[in-house]
Amino acid sequence: MKIGLVSYEFNNGKIEYNIKKIEKAIISANGKADLLCFGETFLQGFDSLSWNYEIDKNIAITKDSFIMDKLKNLSEKYNIDLGIGYIEREREQIFSSFVVIEKGKIIHNYRRITKNWKEYSITDEHYCEGEISETFIYKNREFKIALCGDLWICPEKFKTNGILLWPVYCNFSKDEWENTEQYDYAKQSKLASDNVLLVNSITKDEPISVGGAYYFKNGKIEKSLELDKEDILFVEI
């Protein structure tokens, strides 16, 4: 199985721009990956919400929305499976979620458990978290998903003998990543799985993110991307 971890730039609030970036990555990865994974909330951008529900309900999308159909159609058109972080709405609730699309169909949808994706001091009951990370099967392998701070707050909920996908949005500087954070994240990953795939997005908006992607094997860095450069890390597991 070949998985591509896409560290590309998103623009906050620019869904169509971000979809074009998704398609660009798909074209670039043609024949090189079974599954392409993007970072946390890549579809809308991590800082796309206003924390005013009447505005944000139109930024978040449902699983049966026209925009989600676009992502399914890309999966079918290019014969590649996708894992994408997005802001999800279900009825009057908003979540930070991650959808897995196989052959144009949703096979898994995870909702972040921890609350640091939002400005929780000013948000109301519309902004919600999930409760569990369920195992799902892809290409006959067990997978789980953790989003960003999940693996720091409650790593025990993500333990798996399979593969853990860890999409994040982190705005450490390049020096911080290279000198300390990448090793701390590698060590933390060992608490959940021996095979962890982390992907972070790039953004030039404040706070700036230099992106990056990592394959952590047994708590060590097995493979990684150059920071602050759009690229795809291909991992065969």
- pLDDT, tens digit, for every residue of 95-114? 999 999 999 999 999 999 99
CB crowding 108-147: b at 16 or more within 10 Å, else e: bbbbbbbeebbeeeebeebbbbbeebeebebeeeebbbbb
Quote the pLDDT of residue 205. 83
Residue 64, burial from CB neighbour count under 10 angstroms (0-12, 13-18, 19+) = exposed
Average pLDDT over residues 157-185: 97
pLDDT at 176 over 90: yes
Mean pLDDT over 183-200 rounds to 98
CATH number of 2-236: 3.60.110.10
Give me the torsion for CA of 166, 215, 20, 117, rounded to 10°. 20
Question: Per residue in 122-147, pLDDT tens?
Answer: 999 999 999 999 999 999 999 999 99
What percent of the chain is predicted at pLDDT more than 70?
A: 100
Query: Region 44-51: what's the mean pLDDT?
Result: 97
Beta strands in 51-207 (DSSP E): 81-90, 93-102, 105-111, 136-138, 141-145, 163-168, 195-203
What does DSSP say about strands 141-145 and 136-138: parallel, antiparallel, or unpaired?
antiparallel
> Can you tell me which residue has the tokens 């999409």?
167
* pLDDT band at 206; cut points 50, 70, 90: confident
Q: Hey, is 230 helix, strand or coil?
A: coil
pLDDT for the residue 113: 97
The single-letter DSSP state of residue 159 is -
Q: How confident is the model at residue 117 (pLDDT cuts 50, 70, 90)?
A: very high
Measured CA to CA, the distance from residue 151 to residue 155 in angstroms comes to: 5
pLDDT at residue 6 in the model? 98
Percentage, residues of the chain above pLDDT 90: 97
DSSP H helical segments within 57-143, as ranges?
Answer: 66-78
Mean pLDDT of 70-90: 98
